[in-house]
Structure 1
Amino acid sequence: MDAKSIHTLEYNKILERLGSYTAFSASATLVRALQPTNDLLLAQDRQARTTQARRLLDEYPEMSIGGARDVRPQVEMAARGGVLTPQELLDVKATLVSSRDLQRAFAKLEFDCPHLQAIAQDLTPPPGIIEAITQIITENAEVADGASVRLDTLRREVKAANDRIFTKLEKLINDTRIAPMLQEALITKRNGRYVIPLRAESKSHMRCVVQDQSSSGATLFVEPLAVVELNNHLNEAILGEKEEERRILSELSAQIGDYNTNVQANIRALAALDMAFACAKYAQDLNAVEPILLDNPSGQASEDDLFLRFPRARHPLLDPEKVVPIDVALEKGTRALVITGPNTGGKTVTLKTVGLLVLMAQSGLHIPAQSGSQTRIFRDVYADIGDEQSIEQSLSTFSGHVTNIVRILKKADARTLVIFDELGAGTDPQEGSALARAILTYLLRRRIPALIATHYPELKAYAHNTEGALNASVEFDPQTLKPTYRLLMGLPGRSNALSIASRLGIKDEIIADAREMIDPESLQTEDLLDEIHRQLENARQEHALVENLRQELEADRQILAERLENIENERLAMLEEARLQSLRELEELRGEIQSLKRQSTVKSDSPVKVKKALEQQIRSLEEKVAEPLDKTDYSGQPSRPLRVGDRVYIRNLKTDGSVLEIGQEIVEVQIGKMRVKVDLRNIERPKKTGAKVKRPVLESSEPAPTSSSIFHPSPGAELHLRGMRGEDALGELDHYLDDAYAAGLPYARIVHGKGTGTLRQLVRQALSASALVASWENAMDNEGGEGVTIVHFKEG
């Protein structure tokens, strides 16, 4: 990729922000070296890593590389015979522990992330190293006493020698004959030997060796002869201890050095995983999505081929709370986009946004745009952006621009993307305009995709009348004299010079004279553009009003549905209470008739009549209470009961048949010449209606114990797919669409979450391909935004 253009587009700032998400220096180094690739498979592999890392961190937010350090220089030094310090050994241990923990985590992971798991295969800590460091080095970065028997013995000797010296010196400083000769009763150390502070004038009264004196000379730090031999023994023991510690560290370092290649591989794998985690975290904070990458092997695009499409694109370096999203595309035979509009209106930001998003996509980074964003893999991206908004000031003159343009045109072809800001500016307007049109013609002839920002009105007309070119404009509000930063595709920008001048106070007669000096055709064109922009703004306001009304109607519909639900629940409660009351009365009647049976005799005719009357009453009540009460589903449309002779679909046999007999749980069906008994749960209406069948109402003179209506059951107006794998989610979506359409729902909410955008993209592709769906759209921000898709069903 062209290094100058990458720097011009401020790609280095993207890497700086990405690097802030890394956990150790090895991955930060990888990020700094990250460059866009023009290899489709490599770019797709990078994108897959980022996507899988986002899904992994969503599921396991605690996943990280732990306390890993980039200890490659230390391990290389150990391989060459160097000795590592205890702290360096602890860093090696922490790194290998992180490698081991991640290796175990990925081994147990029931999660589909093959690209990350391929990296994790290189996490193979060398055997025994972690345990050896743990045994030898303490958490305080010291060699443990138990590192060797000799070290333990020497340290005991050092402690014993210390104790003997302190016992001897304490006895001396507490001696009543010696205490007056001391500056103070203190034991200290000079030149590695224990001493006491003696007054200078008392030196002749004590047999000692002077090790040091105070700056004034009044105090001598002396080693009494009685402890000279003890100090010698102590220093010998200390030297032996240090020598043994070095021997132990040397052996442990050599052991680590033997696994230099293995440790290097582990650190590279940790760095690759950490960079993937950093890409995922950065994408999450940007609310970015995975772009669809398209190949561009030859650059011989047809008229309908797509170069790039970035809906709702945002500049990744601008404040996400303030940046205005834009919809920008090069598609359907458009190879050059000519952007016009006022200064500070957002032209340069638009160019940099497109350039940066292409570079990010080819680097494996998710882009801040709407799901479904697409871009070709460009062999290179060339940019000439040199106005005052650029980080690079060296190209602000006309000669600097031309020099850079010459360099770009020599290298550009149909597989590259060219970005020119203020093409032809900095010289005579007439010549600059002609040069700009000629360069644009050159790009179109060679089918080189390009985005061009300009002030020249001639380029507006050229783009309008030339095949392969398309106008776009950044919007400016003449009422507030401020840009809106919206990009309008297909419309050239207005100059706004006269209207701005008028609002700023220029006299009307001057404005009128200026209008007379303008070419009438140009003035008519500007007036026409003004009217188009006004109509567009009116349409936008009307759309916003309609959308607000739609939201209000949806809120009212939900309130009414809740009220209807409550009414239905109250109705059911009242009917259930009545049914229970009937049951109680029935039990009372049964008790009475049993009593009458016991009391009546066959000789008496009257009790028999009473008995028959009561039995008839009981049968009547039994018929009334036999059927359970079913709650009415107002989201679906009830259909008539199942009858003998109806055509039905048998799910488990995957065929149609005719109903012969209807039982409580079993339906007998005629399939060709066969009579088959089928479980009622496997019965549906024929596929053309999609109605599901429940327990039927039996049309017979015989009363049935239970019955209910056959209707299209509503699956509810909302389907939750968040956290599901793609294949499972699409299966659930397919069943739900069938059920919701059969139930007659006008629309539904599909909740897939924002996440990486992969699931959202799969869902929307399935919706676009469904014969049951009329249209779909994003939910409003207060309804879930891009995490929810609103589906509108076709009329049945």
Structure 2
Amino acid sequence: MNERILRVLEYTKIKEHLLGHVSSSLGKEKIKELVPWTSTDDVLHQQNSTDEGVQVLRLKGHVPLGGIRDIRASIKRSEISGILNPEELVDISTTIYGGRRFKRFIEGMLEDEVQLPILEELIGQIVPLNELEQEINLCIDDNGAVLDSASPTLRNIRQQLRTFESRIREKLESIIRSSKSQKMLSDAIVTIRNDRYVIPVKQEYRSAFGGMVHDQSASGATLFIEPQSVVTINNQLKEAISKEYEEVQRILRQLTERVAEEAGILSHNVEMLAEIDFIFAKARYGHSIKGTKPLVNEKQHVKLKKARHPLIAAEEVVPIDVELGGDFNSLVITGPNTGGKTVTLKTIGLVALMAQSGLQIPADDDSEVAVFESIFADIGDEQSIEQSLSTFSSHMTNIVQILDQVNFKSLVLFDELGAGTDPTEGAALAISILDYVNERGSRIVATTHYSELKAYAYNREGVMNASVEFDVETLRPTYRLLLGVPGRSNAFEISRRIGLGEKIIESAKSHISEGNNQIDDMIASLEDAQKQAQRERIDAASIHDEADKLKKDLEERLSEFEQFKEKLYTDAEQEARKAVEKARKEADEIIKELRDYQKKHGTVKEHKLIEAQKRLEDADPNLTSKAKKSPGKNAEGLRKLMPGEEVKVISLNQKGHIIDQVSEKEYQVQIGIMKMNVKADDLQPEKKTKQTETKPVVRVQGSSQAKTELDLRGERYEDAMRSVDKFLDESLLAGYPQVSIIHGKGTGALRKGVQTLLKEHPNVKSTRMGAAGEGGSGVTIVSLK
């Protein structure tokens, strides 16, 4: 990837944006050195590392990378026996701490079983130099000052310094407070000159104080004199300051030697932290552009879904769908100026560079990118004034250099190929250049004005036409890319919209060959067909989503039913166990009583045996008596159960009604909102009221097809009311005593309308909301007269 290509495709601007997301100068250096990788393994590793960074930010919201500094220069100086200053040592300490804190942060996520293999490997190589960090912190504070506690010697020296300074100040302040001395002083203050304490004395009183003159004012009227009375103490102070400096230097030298001992580990830690900072800069940038991790392949296949140019504002950019390297290797984009052809070209090239740099791309999920060894671009007017080259010559010079280097692992971008010269010759050159690059297996995206190239894709295998859409109504481009449709000039339509006379337009059309007119008509037809296909695809996607939603709803209902059935079985088993246990206890008591009676009286009298037998019969749980009684009726075929007839499912101890007969020995039964197939010998007909028994049942053809449930969800209000009315009529004809109307919860408008209609309907006996197992307030259960 040469520097010119990176500049033309604005890759350098991406790096500038990326710099805004680093935490340290270490990360900045990595970004400045960043170039796209050309090895698939490298690209995959970088993409995976960025994805891990995104995952950490998504789960935690931040990463602790504060305090990390570029300490490599300080480490190098320590190795060549230089003495590090306190600020450098503080930077080393904070960097050790920053690495240790980040390591602990990631280890915590790993303990929560978050999969971060790349970051885990990086932190595994960070050695927490706790002892060195503590030694530096004991000697130097956060502001870079050497602490008194750094050594006993330094503590004693500084105590002496404070004593000497205090004594000097006391003496000088007593002088300046003296009424005798005040008239001799320019100002009643104690100040410092040449690291010695002095007082400002008027020139004419110089001899009154004796001592040493260290400075004078600009006018010479004031002399800064160290009085003789403090010269000795000042000398002692000066000597203590010198000792302090020597002790501080000794401490710094000792700490520097400790840094030198750990230089190798420190340098390696810095490398790991630089890589970590780089990873999270990529992750933050990906988040800022709403990027996604692309699929990486070695098949030179590019498939971008809703790709956006990352340097165009989100509210202005128009997403494009692009595919290259699958059914076709070359894409020829035609269309009017300012239609977005160049932006499309740059988007494809820049997204490829970003992906190969380990950056997430501004496109939808499941977008695919290839790893190209080289990307070439001839975009824009790169005319060289110094070389006196025309626009055409400048483009051709660049193209010649490209043609010398392309291969089957190249992506080539041509903007306005063959422009700047005679249209006929330019189109011929463009076709020949595309053929040449195609033969070498490169992936090509080219834009052009030439109408000759519209037919190029139809005559060449592996080449696809595309165009940028233009809205003739608004006379503005939509910037949408249409694959498979060549572009039209739209000159006549635009002229007509602007107001050019129809006679002139028709005259102009007569000067164009019949073939060109047919091509324009064909292109217009293709555009209309593609728009229609896109609308149908959107409708199909909507239907697919609705079907998925319905499928999930049914799965949830089935799951609820299975749970309900399991609960019934569990409850029945528990009740059976309790009944059996109670019967066993009763039997044990009866047997015990009989034995006790036999022991006392020798024999058991007849009335005792009869009484005991009666108690045993009462204790019998009789768990199967109902099941035996009911199957007897249906198994012998005494009466066939009819649709709508109320029955009891014996094994579930639940009431329902017959929907249909599945076979001679099986019926479909509805219990609440649940439908299930039940064996005939597991059903018991419910006794009907007198009103029900005397009710005439009208059988009409097709009534058996009527359903006992009406689903109104998704219907408009008026349509729903008509559906309810029709459904009630069909249910009455079918003889159903009870039906269910599903209206959903929603805003409640549909439910209210349904219930109002039901109240006024002459054949509705009563209504109620569904129970917990029947759909709750989203269902109305209707009893019919």
Normalising by the residue count of structure 2, what TM-score does the alignment of the two structures yield? 0.69
Which residue of the partner structure matches residue 514 of structure 2? 520
> Counterpart in 2 of 1:348?
342
TM-aligned CA distance change 1:218 to 1:444, over 3 Å: closer
1:595 corresponds to which residue? none
Choose from 137, 144, 147 the match for 1:134.
137
What displacement does 1:510 show?
Answer: 2.1
The CA distance in 1 between the partners of 2:357 and 2:530, in whole Å, is 37
Larger C-alpha radius of gyration, 1 or 2?
2
Q: Return the alpha-carbon distance in structure 1 between the equivalents of residues 404 and 215 of structure 2.
A: 79
Matches within 5 A, 1:499-518: 499-518=493-512
Question: Residue in 2 aligned with 1:530?
Answer: 524
Amino acid at match of 1:275: F
**How far off is 1:173 after superposition?**
2.2
Q: CA deviation at 1:628?
A: 10
What residue number does 2:26 align with? 26
Q: What residue number does 2:269 align with?
A: 266
The equivalences for 1:206-355 within 5 A come to: 206-295=209-298, 307-355=301-349
| Cα displacement (A) at 1:328 | 0.9
Conserved in 2, the CA contact under 8 Å of 1:387 and 1:396? no
2:56 is matched with 56
| Aligned partners of 2:99 and 2:126 also within 8 Å | yes
SS at match of 2:336: coil
Amino acid at match of 1:167: E
Counterpart Cα distance in 1 of 2:277 and 2:389: 38
Q: Structure 1 counterpart of 2:57, which letter?
A: L
Q: Hey, what does 1:100 align to over in structure 2?
A: 100
Deviation at 1:700, TM superposition (A): 7.8
Q: CA deviation at 1:333?
A: 4.2
**Paired residue for 2:419?**
425
The whole-number CA distance in structure 2 between the counterparts of 1:6 and 1:364 is 16
Structure 1: where are the runs of 5+ without partners? 296-304, 570-601, 634-638, 644-693, 703-796
Measure, in 2, the Cα distance between the counterparts of 1:614 and 1:307.
Answer: 82
Q: Determine if contact 2:191/2:197 at 8 Å carries over to the other structure.
A: yes
Report the alpha carbon displacement of residue 62 of structure 1 after superposing the two structures with TM. 3.4
How far apart are residue 620 of structure 1 and its match?
A: 12
Change (3 A) 1:270 1:630: farther
Deviation at 1:286, TM superposition (A): 2.3
> Contact conserved, 1:103 with 1:124, CA < 8 A, in 2?
no
- RMSD, matched Cα: 4.7
Instruction: Kindly report which structure 2 residues correspond to 1:466-505, keeping only aligned pairs within 5 A, or say none.
Output: 466-505=460-499
Using the TM superposition, give the Cα deviation of residue 336 of structure 1 relative to its aligned residue in structure 2, in angstroms: 1.1
The superposition leaves residues 288-332 of structure 1 with CA deviations (integer Å, 9 ceiling, x where unpaired) of 22222222xxxxxxxxx6632222222222223432221111234
**Is the 2:292–2:363 Cα contact (8 Å) retained in structure 1?**
yes
- Which residue pairs with 2:123 in the alignment? 120
Distance 1:551 1:99 in 2: 48
Q: Secondary structure at the match of 2:305?
A: strand
Change (3 A) 1:65 1:161: same
The answer (yes or no) to whether the contact 1:472–1:493 under 8 Å persists in 2 is: yes
Check if 1:358 corresponds to 2:361: no
Structure-2 separation of matches of 1:631 and 1:208: 117
Q: Find the aligned partners of 1:118 and 1:363 in 2 and give their Cα distance.
A: 21
Q: How far is the alpha carbon of 1:205 from its aligned partner? A: 3.5
- Per-residue deviation, 1:260: 2.5
Match of 1:459 in 2: 453
Q: State the alpha-carbon separation in 1 of the partners of residues 368 and 311 from structure 2.
A: 20
- SS at 2:183's partner residue? helix
C-alpha distance in structure 2 between counterparts of 1:358 and 1:632, whole Å: 66
Distance 1:17 1:187, change over 3 A: same
- TM-score normalised by the chain length of structure 1: 0.68
SS at match of 1:527: helix
Q: Report the counterpart of residue 156 of structure 1 in structure 2.
A: 159
When residues 209 and 352 of structure 1 are mapped into structure 2, their CA distance, relative to the original with a 3 A threshold, is same
Structure 1 counterpart of 2:635: none
**Which residue number corresponds to residue 725 of structure 2?**
none
Q: Which amino acid aligns with 1:50?
A: T
How many residue pairs end up in the alignment?
A: 627
Work out the CA distance in 2 between the residues paired with 1:543 and 1:626.
47
Shift of 1:370: 2.5
1:112 deviates by 2.4
- In 2, the alpha carbon distance for the partners of 1:350 and 1:450 equals 13
Q: CA deviation at 1:160?
A: 0.4
Q: Which has the higher contact order (CA 8 A, sep 6+)?
A: 1
Partners of 1:75 and 1:257 within 8 A in 2: yes
Taking the TM superposition and a 5 Å limit, the aligned residue runs for 1:582-661 are none
Q: Which residue of 1 aligns with 2:408?
A: 414
Match of 1:36 in 2: 36
C-alpha change, 1:445 and 1:216, in structure 2 (3 Å) is closer
Partners of 2:104 and 2:551 in 1: how far apart?
52
With over 3 angstroms needed to count, the CA separation of the structure-2 counterparts of 1:701 and 1:200, relative to structure 1, is closer
Letter in 1 for 2:52: Q
The letter of the residue matching 1:320 is A
Contact 2:325 2:443 in 1 (8 A): no
State how far apart, in whole Å, the 2-side matches of 1:180 and 1:240 are: 38
Identify the residue that residue 761 of structure 2 maps to in structure 1. Answer: none
1:173 counterpart residue number: 176
Aligned counterparts, 1:653-732, within 5 A: none
Q: Which residue of 1 aligns with 2:68?
A: 68
Q: Secondary structure at the match of 1:342?
A: coil
Q: Which digits, 9 at most, give the CA deviation of each residue in 1:356-391, with x for residues without a partner?
A: 1222222222222222222332221111111499xx
Letter in 1 for 2:445: L
Query: How has the CA–CA distance of structure 1 residues 226 and 328 changed in structure 2, closer, same or farther, with 3 Å as cutoff?
Result: same
Overall identity of the aligned pairs, in %: 39
1:372 aligns with 2:366: yes
Q: 1:213 to 1:557 in 2, by over 3 A?
A: same
Instruction: Quickly say closer, same or farther: Cα 1:698–1:103, change in 2 above 3 A.
Output: farther
1:515 maps to amino acid: K
3-state SS in 1 of match to 2:466 = strand
Tell me, yes or no, if the aligned pair for 2:307 and 2:364 is still in contact at 8 Å: yes
Tell me, in whole angstroms, the C-alpha distance in 1 between the residues paired with 2:143 and 2:650: 78
1:574-626 C-alpha deviation (Å, 9 max, x unpaired): xxxxxxxxxxxxxxxxxxxxxxxxxxxx99xxx99x99999999999999x99
Q: Distance in 2 between matches of 1:614 and 1:630?
A: 22
Deviations 1:451-490 (A, max 9, x none): 1111111011011121121111111111111111111111
